[in-house]
Amino acid sequence: MNFLSKDKVNDYRVNFNNNGKIISIEVTCCGRHIGEIRFKNGESKKCPLCGASHSIKIQHNHFHIRPVMPETNNVNSVYAEKAL
């Protein structure tokens, strides 16, 4: 899924050590730098603005970084009818 829009920009920057090994990934969400995650399977960072959780999944010869948007809280409100 692609959650990008004109107002929200996601970006990932991979940081390497001197030996060329990946050490961390910097995460930008909603156009703001929200932090850094270690290059470790299952690590994640949550955006304080939109609530998206950016997580890393390491596989055999590649990795995925996925933003997962929170499900909306659809609460059905019940209002008492006003007595006339």
* DSSP track, 31-60: TEEEEEEESSTT-EEE-TTT--EEEEEE-S
So what's the pLDDT on residue 69? Answer: 85
Joined tokens for residue 25 = 């990934």
Give the other-Cβ count within 10 Å of 52's Cβ.
Answer: 21
Per-residue pLDDT for the chain (84 aa), expressed as one digit of tens each?
Answer: 445 555 557 889 999 999 999 999 999 998 899 999 999 999 999 999 888 999 999 998 899 998 888 876 544 445 455 555
Residue 58's identity, in one-letter code, is I
With 0.85 as the threshold, say if the pTM is over it.
Answer: no
Q: What share of the chain is helix, strand, coil (3-state, %, to 5)?
A: 0, 45, 55
Joined tokens for residue 22 = 């990946």
So what's the pLDDT on residue 1? Answer: 45
